[in-house]
Amino acid sequence: MLANALLLALRELRRNVMRSFLTMLGIIIGVASVIILVTLGGGATKQVTEQISSLGSNLIMVVPGKRMGPGQTSGAAPFKLADAEAIAREVPSLQAVAPAASSGMTAIYANENWSTSVTGSTEEYFTVSNRVIGEGRAFTATEARTGVSVCVIGETVRSKLFGSQNPVGCKIRLKKVSCEVVGLLQSKGQSTMGTDQDDIIVVPLRTFQRRIAGNEDVSIIQVSVKDGVSTDMIKAELGRLMRARRHLSATDDDNFNVMDMKEISTMLSGTTRVLTGLLGAVAAVSLLVGGIGIMNIMLVSVTERTREIGTRLAIGALEWEVLLQFLVEAVVLASFGGLVGITFALAVSFGLATLLKVPFIFNAPIVLVAFLFSGAIGVVFGYFPARKAARLDPIEALRHE
Amino acid sequence: MTSGEATNGSPVRPIIELSGVTKVYGMGTAQMTALGGVDLSIYPGEFVAVMGPSGSGKSTCMNILGCLDTPTDGSYRFCGVEVGKLTRNQRALLRRHYLGFVFQGYNLLNRTSALENVELPLVYRGERARRRRQRARDALNTVGLTGWEGHTPGELSGGQQQRVSIARAIITRPVVLLADEPTGNLDSARSVEIMNLLTSFNRDQGITIVMVTHEPDMAQYAKRVVHFKDGLIAVDHTHEEHA
């Protein structure tokens, strides 16, 4: 009986190809958007996690400002170099401490100029942020301490200012400072947030403060913890130290923030998760609309085929047999839409993943769930029309025009 | 199996036994009596023509005979079973196993081949596909439609469509074949063909036939003619030459 109903449903589908396709469109769009979102969202999350773990799990960032919510801080007094020195002095088990300040400005070389981000930090910056020198060298501790006008540039800056020329030894101009390029950073590509990590110039912090920014501010202190030491313990230690240095009383909230990579990762993936969730809800609505479309067309179909139903009932079809026939038809319609949607979604998300340079992750459970869900939509929205068909009075149905 | 008449004294029991059957539609003042107490017995092998003007209750009576409807009052026994007490699904099973229907408008499934139309009752009987096909082919052969199996109703003439529907009705070898104006949409030549077919099924396979018709010419083919008037049987006449 089921096989028969299936056969009938397929034939009915083939009979009204255009109508069936339009009916399925809602489900196709719904299923496709759910899968695309989840696949791309999963890829993005994976990329975030990978990049963060490439930064090293032992990295802790201290930034001024009170935490307001995910990724938001309110303004507060910046740190000073002394804060970083205090950390290095008083907190045990640290591998490196890199205070940093940065600002955007235009770098000029010969008749080329390029607007980029200039970061002032110590030589430990390279250790903490996992940057490797590709050519030349990093500035030395002495250079950093004395504030010599040297800089290390990223790959993007090099290509914009120097073209194919070797930049090491050349002098670029930052604001009014002429700065000798001593090294080139190895390319690191795009960051999680979509910024180009190679679009950067690193100068000694003292040089930055005195000659470029004209203040003593430090906007972030990055700390890398020795392997095997608990970051939680260090974070607590950092918190205590900074509270003391910023003269906070016991009742005051922190006006700075200590984050380790775990937190940053949670924060970032939290943002992507919220986004995926919201878009997923929109997709779910379109699935619902698709279901209503199926119900609508099934009701039309029942009305159109009233005589057929009457004939079947007269011949001796039982109520449940007629119900099954129409229910199977709705389910076939919906799940076929689901299949088309899945195929479409996988193709699109593969294309988009390649385009957006996000890893393509085939999420088998979500594909299965989407398929089963579309079938379930067929059952839910097909039941009412099918029941209507099954409960027709055969006499009335046979007389129907 | 040969016909057993009520008059020949053999202990044959009627297949269809209506006694005091009434059918009332509507409620209160809008009440309409379609059947006002009908007594009718039909025996195995009979060929009964039911005649009467529209509104005389003959269609209502046919619906009740076909177990599509139940009497308001009175008793309808089909092969000894009280139909009025059966549920909707039980009546469907009764139709499935004992009854065949031929309609004025054929009621074939559109865009479905003649073969598939004919095998439809066997689908509901759970017959296997191969055997179903074979029996449907045989049935189409008996109505003279060999070679037309793959044609859809749209590709068949009215007479052919009615023959397909007769094949569908007799494929289950029903005890009773109910025909509702089977020649109503056909010209006289086609009508004669259809009537000859029905007569042959009645004669050769012993299928009891109850046929509603407007045309006295068609009623001639039946052995017995029942006239309805105002919800009652006015005349119940058996042709002597057929007896």
Residue A61 pLDDT > 60, yes or no?
Answer: yes
Measured between beta carbons, the chain A residues lying within 8 angstroms of B90 are none
Chain A, residues 292-321, CB within 8 A of chain B, namely 307-308, 310-319, 321
CB neighbour list of residue B238: distance below 8 Å, 6 or more residues apart = B7, B223, B224, B225
Q: What ipTM was reported for this prediction?
A: 0.91
Q: Which of A43-47, A152-156, A345-349, B229-233 has the lowest mean pLDDT?
A: A43-47
Shortest distance, CA B228 to any CA of chain A (angstroms) = 20
Interface of A with B in 5-34 (CB under 8 A): 15
Please name each of the domains of chain B with its CATH number: 6-238 (3.40.50.300)
- pLDDT at residue B7 tops 60: no
The per-residue pLDDT for range B52-68, each reduced to its tens digit, is: 998 899 999 999 999 99
Confidence class of residue B45 from pLDDT cuts 50, 70 and 90?
very high
Question: Which pLDDT value is given to residue A145?
Answer: 85
Residue A53 pLDDT more than 90? no
What distance in Å separates residue B96's CA from the closest CA in chain A? 4
- The Cα A39–Cα A56 span in angstroms is 26
- For residue B93, which residues of chain A lie inside 8 Å, CB to CB? 316, 318
Specify which of A82-86, A146-150, A363-367, B90-94 reaches the highest per-range mean pLDDT: B90-94
Q: What is the pLDDT of residue B243?
A: 44
Interface residues on B facing A, Cβ-Cβ cutoff 8 A: 63, 66, 68-69, 88-89, 92-97, 99, 101, 103, 107-111, 120-121, 123-126, 168
Q: What percent of chain B has a predicted confidence (pLDDT) above 90?
A: 82
Q: What is the 3-state secondary structure (H, E, C) of chain B?
A: CCCCCHHHCCCCCCCEEEEEEEEEECCHHHCEEEEEEEEEEECCCCEEEEECCCCCCHHHHHHHHCCCCCCCEEEEEECCEEHHHCCHHHHHHHHHHHEEEECCCCCCCCCCCHHHHHHHHHHHCCCCHHHHHHHHHHHHHHCCCCCCCCCCHHHCCHHHHHHHHHHHHHCCCCCEEEEECCCCCCCHHHHHHHHHHHHHHHHHCCCEEEEECCCHHHHCCCCEEEEEECCEEEEEEECCCCC
Which residues, at least 6 apart from A271, have a Cβ–Cβ distance to it below 8 Å? A70, A71
- β-bridge mates for residue A118, sequence order: A103, A201
Q: For residue A254, how many C-alpha atoms fall within 13 Å in the half-sphere facing its CB?
A: 20
Residue of B nearest to A12 (CA): B111
Distance CA A318, CA A312 (A): 9
Q: Binning pLDDT at 50, 70 and 90, where does residue B1 land? A: very low
Cβ contact B88–A319 (<8 Å):
yes
A75 confidence band (pLDDT: 50, 70, 90): low
Which pLDDT tens digit goes with each residue over A237-274?
888 898 888 888 888 888 888 888 777 777 777 777 78
Do B63 and A395 count as a contact with CB atoms less than 8 A apart? yes
Using a CB-CB cut-off of 8 Å, the residues of chain A touching B66 are 314
| Chain B residue numbers touching A394 (CB-CB < 8 A) | 68
Instruction: Give B81-137 pLDDT, tens digit per residue.
Output: 999 999 999 999 999 999 999 999 999 998 899 999 999 999 999 899 999 999 999
> Least CA distance to B93: which residue of chain A?
A316
Residue A288 is predicted with a pLDDT of 87
Amino acid code (one letter) for A192: T
- Shortest Cα distance from B44 to chain A (angstroms)? 21
* Three-class secondary structure assignment of chain A: CHHHHHHHHHHHHHHCHHHHHHHHHHHHHHHHHHHHHHHHHHHHHHHHHHHHHHHCCCEEEEEECCEEECCEECCCCCEEHHHHHHHHHHCCCEEEEEEEEEEEEEEEECCEEEEEEEEEECCCHHHHCCCCEEEECCCCHHHHHHCCCEEEECHHHHHHHHCCCCCCCCEEEECCEEEEEEEEECCCCECCCCCECCCEEEEEHHHHHHHHHCCCEECEEEEEECCCCCHHHHHHHHHHHHHHHCCCCCCCCCCEEEEEHHHHHHHHHHHHHHHHHHHHHHHHHHHHHHHHHHHHHHHHHHHHCHHHHHHHHHHCCCHHHHHHHHHHHHHHHHHHHHHHHHHHHHHHHHHHHHHHCCCCCCCHHHHHHHHHHHHHHHHHHHHHHHHHHHCCCHHHHHHCC
CB contact under 8 A, B107 and A312: no
Q: What is the mean pLDDT of chain A?
A: 87
pLDDT single digits (tens) B197-234: 999 999 999 999 999 998 999 999 999 999 999 999 99
- The pLDDT of residue A150: 92
Phi, psi of A303 (to 5 degrees): -65, -45
Nearest to B124 among A308, A321, A395 (CB): A321
Chain A residues closer than 8 Å to B117 by CB: none
Counting Cα atoms < 13 Å in the Cβ hemisphere of A313 gives: 27
Candidate from A1, A15, A316 with C-beta closest to B92: A316
| Among candidates A310, A313, A315 on the partner chain, residue whose Cβ is nearest the Cβ of B121 | A315
Interchain CB distance below 8 Å, B96 and A315? yes
d(CA B195, CA A19): 42
pTM of the model: 0.72
Give dist(CA B97, CA B79) in Å, integer.
Answer: 12
Query: Which residue does chain A place closest to B67, by CA atoms?
Result: A314
Specify the range with the lowest mean pLDDT, choosing from A40-49, B143-152, B173-182: A40-49
Residue of B nearest to A393 (CA): B68
Mean pLDDT computed over B8-19: 80
pLDDT confidence bin for B3, thresholds 50/70/90: very low
Which pLDDT belongs to residue B212? Answer: 94
Nearest to B124 among A15, A308, A317 (CB): A317
Q: Write out pLDDT tens, residues A118-172.
A: 999 998 888 888 888 888 888 888 888 888 899 999 999 999 888 888 889 889 9
What span, in angstroms and rounded, lies between the C-alpha atoms of A334 and A380?
10
Strands A171-174 and A133-136 come out as unpaired
How many angstroms separate the CA atoms of B159 and B189, rounded? Answer: 9
pLDDT band at A48 (very low <50, low <70, confident <90, very high): confident
pLDDT confidence of residue A255: 84
Q: Where are the domains of chain A?
A: 2-50+267-399, 78-245
A 320-379: CB under 8 A from B: 321
**A15 vs B69, B111, B120: nearest CB:** B111
CB pairs under 8 A between A and B: 52
